[in-house]
Amino acid sequence: MPVTFFTPEHDALRASVRRFAEDELAPHADEWEEDFPDWVFKRAGELGFLGLTYPVEYGGQGADYFSTIVFAEEIGRCNNGGVALGLAVQSDMATTPINKFGTHEQREKYLAPCIAGDKIACLGISEPNAGSDVMNIETTATWDGGEWVINGRKIFITNGWRAHVMTLVAKTKRDGQPAGHSLFLIDTDTPGYTKTRKLDKVGMRSSDTAEIVFEDCRVPADALLGTEGEGFKHIMWELQGERLIGALAATSGAARMLEMTIRYAKEREAFGRPIASFQAIRHKIAEMATLVTAIREFAHYTAYRWNSGEYVVREISMAKLISGEIGCQIADECLQIFGGAGYSSDNPIQRGWRDMRVNRIGGGTDEIMREIIGKMEGL
């Protein structure tokens, strides 16, 4: 009997997410090239997709981890990577620390409305001078008069322009002395929190990406999320889940582009016959199908081990690295098979090609993944 990680319940969820992506979102893919409306979050919340694994008490579905994987694999059928990314940040990146480390009051105030799609969340990690080096972020939270005073700058923040709440990583200070990293929940309408610019990007264009500046932004003591000084450990835990979701999103994106390319190759004729009948094209497609299957199976098995409680940081890093690289390779080959038609801006294959590239950067670059793998190999 073949090994499967998915149940009939997962199959039903997959069909539901696919209908939402293909019927309600995909028709707007071109219209939403530069932005997408907030009602998408609300609709995803109504359908139960923003809290699949979160407690029922806060409006979640209480489902297992593979339900999140189903969502990550199917939501990309909206044919707009920026839309899928914005929803993924909401469902599996910015809110996961709130669920894991938040108090009951914090989860009621922030997690429940985010699950419902009434509030939009972003994750404040990346900085201009730190990038993937979380240990050396420069944003500080200084304890002063019973409040935390935040100063610093964040960049490349997905959902940052529209967000109502940010899950922030900052270096904490007490009595002027460093006290480790900590997480905070920041209402984006707090004085001293300023959205300075909305970034223009090559791909994922509909996903709003912002730069945020904190200037003496004062927040109450209960804005602290989790244990003071434990924020680095907390956020590195979150990053493992983010990287695994990223690997699965890249893999499923490559699979969808391959589906589109196979259909096109069967229909497009050259020299009196479909281009799929040429050995050069058939062999390219065969190789791409093999690579997609290999990285998908590896990502699923890694997700199974992660969900079982194993320490699979090495394997998650490998899945993130190989899925991003192969995803970009497949995107490029698919566009090549489409030829000039694929390079035209009215062909969805070009958007997939542009959107795919960020998978080798976001959530930890290829270079960082290689460093992690190398260290875990004893180098």
Active site residues: 242
Classify 205 as helix, strand or coil. Answer: coil
**Cα–Cα separations (whole angstroms), residue 173 to 56, 145, 151, 170, 264:** 36, 13, 11, 10, 58
Q: CA angle, 304 as apex, 300 and 305 as ends, to 5°? A: 120
**Residues whose CB falls within 8 Å of the CB of residue 250, separated by 6 or more in sequence, listed in order:** 323, 324, 327, 356, 359
What the block records as the tokens of 99 is 């669920």
Classify 213 as helix, strand or coil. Answer: strand
Which stretch of DSSP H or E encloses residue 151? strand 147-158
**Cα–Cα separations (whole angstroms), residue 339 to 47, 96, 106, 254:** 38, 41, 52, 17
Q: Specify burial of residue 114 (Cβ count, 10 A radius: 0-12, 13-18, 19+).
A: buried
Q: How big is the chain, counted in residues? A: 379
Contact between 362 and 126 under an 8 Å Cβ cutoff? The reply is no
Q: CA angle, 117 as apex, 164 and 150 as ends, to 5°? A: 20
**Residues whose CB falls within 8 Å of the CB of residue 337, separated by 6 or more in sequence, listed in order:** 261, 264, 265, 275, 281, 284, 285
Contact between 121 and 159 under an 8 Å Cβ cutoff? The reply is yes
Dihedral of CA atoms 14, 15, 20, 22 in degrees, nearest 10, equals 110
Contact between 35 and 19 under an 8 Å Cβ cutoff? The reply is no
How far is C-alpha 130 from the chain's CA centre?
A: 19
